Amino acid sequence: MLLDLTEDQRAIEDVFGGFFRRECPTTVVRAAEPLGFAAALWARLADLGAPAMGLPEAAGGGGASLADLAVVADAAGRAIAPVPFVDHAVAGRLLARLDALDDAVLDGTTVATLAVRPAVAGAPAWSLVPSGAVASVVVGLVGADLVCVRGDGPGTAPRNHGSMPIADRSTAGGTVLATGAGAAAAFAVALAEWRTLTAAALTGIARSAQDIAIRYVNERHQFDRPIGAFQALQQQLADLPIMIDGAFLLASKAAWAGDRGTPGTIDVGHCDVTDFETLAAMAFIFAGEAAAHATDRSLHAHGGYGYAEEYDIQLFFRRARGWTLVAGDPSKECLALSDRLYGPAGAVEGSRG
């Protein structure tokens, strides 16, 4: 048992945490709006080997674990970096597992992404694909097929809450990588990886929201004292580190389960859950709540200034919601999670533990 980062992961945290602090202040985030993609930043991140980091060594990648990638995702989330690190890493790993990886994805000159919401059979497009505006490779389910479509993205995104490079992407002209149960299983693993890494990124957003709030309430004076001295604010802000710690532990447990690669257990009656896809769903839902709550409380602590574009907290507030809701309705994700935990609704015997 180890509930801290490994030494290697601390080194990863130093490198990428430092990189994003240095290279991605919020001026860079603002400059990349409304598209939400900073090509120069992505190129510099590629120089550090980030796009290939999580790809298998045999394919020329860095062989990093999901847990290692979660450390980078956390750092990217703290900076709300306008780069498709998570989407690209997850799509690349899926392509590698299906022997469909190419050098352009490996070095990041081509952005790959995952259509996180499947399209029904015959649907002309995946809607609002994360990084779909800038990706040249899109992998996703169309009915029972796992399809890879190549071709440049539109380069623009519909104006959206999170200033994300999302776009509808055509399902036509793609290569079928797998079909039936094999396709569903491969997609499920990729989606669980996406949820795990996005959970880590959302945790990063929550961390920054907390830091911004603490800085502000120490600076801002009302009634002749810093507003951070008022218990009413302190009590609200005290929830943030709890949710952040919980979110990061849960995302890390999901990553651990994913890296283990062995079937886990789902015994919710004894809170004994080691199944990767289940933990990934839990981590994503909880981190979404944590990021939403932390940015909400942080914005509120700013008073009217929190609502002003000039202050950075609004950048984090919008992405906390955007990075969560791009996957669809969280309530529906809870229902899908319930199917895993308790068996499907309407089943004669719903119990799995």
Residues within the interface to other proteins (CB under 8 A): 1-6, 67, 210, 214, 217-218, 225-226, 228-231, 234-235, 237-243, 245-247, 249-250, 252-253, 255-257, 260, 268-271, 273-274, 279, 282, 285-286, 331, 334-335, 337-338, 341-342, 345-346, 349-351
What is the C-alpha R_g of the chain?
20
What is the rounded distance in angstroms from the CA atom of residue 306 to the CA atom of residue 249? Answer: 29
Closest to 130 measured CA to CA, from 171, 173, 84, 95 = 84
| Least distance between other proteins and beta carbon 272 (Å) | 9
**Min separation Cβ 81 and other proteins, Å:** 23
CB of residue 338 to other proteins, shortest distance in Å: 4
Closest to other proteins by CB, 143 vs 246, is 246
* Least distance (Å) between residue 237 CB and other proteins: 6
Distances (CA, A) of 353 to 19, 266, 349: 45, 7, 11
Nearer to other proteins, 156 or 351 (CB): 351
Name the residue nearer to other proteins (CB basis): 54 or 108. 54
Q: Which two tokens stand for residue 21?
A: 């602090």
Min CB(218)–other proteins separation in Å: 7
Rounded Cα distance between 6 and 37, Å, is: 31
Q: Give the residues across from 149 on adjacent strands.
A: 138
> What is the residue-wise DSSP string for 85-142?
HHHHHHHHHHHHHTT---HHHHHTSS-EEE-SSPBPTT-SEEEEETTTTT-SEEEEEE
Query: In the complex with other proteins, which residue's Cβ is closer, 159 or 270?
Result: 270
- What's the min distance (Å) between Cβ of 79 and other proteins? 21
CA atoms within 13 A on the CB side of 279: 30
User: Beta strand pairing status for 112-114 and 137-142?
Assistant: parallel
User: Least distance in Å: CB of 191 to other proteins?
Assistant: 17
Backbone angles phi, psi at 273, to 5 degrees: -125, 115
Question: CA 17, CA 46: separation in Å to the nearest integer?
Answer: 15
Give the whole-angstrom CA distance, residue 276 versus residue 149: 27
Q: Which is nearer to other proteins, 27 or 235 (CB)?
A: 235
> H helices of 231-305, where?
231-237, 239-260, 276-301
Least distance (Å) between residue 202 CB and other proteins? 14
- 69 within 8 A of 51, measured Cβ to Cβ: no
End-to-end Cα separation, the chain, in angstroms: 25
At closest approach, how far in Å is the CB of 149 from other proteins? 33
Q: Which is nearer to other proteins, 27 or 331 (CB)?
A: 331
Closer of 163 and 298 to other proteins (Cβ): 298
Structure tokens at 299: 């914005």
Give the nearer residue to other proteins in terms of CB position, either 65 or 179: 65
Q: Which CB, 3 or 120, lies closer to other proteins?
A: 3
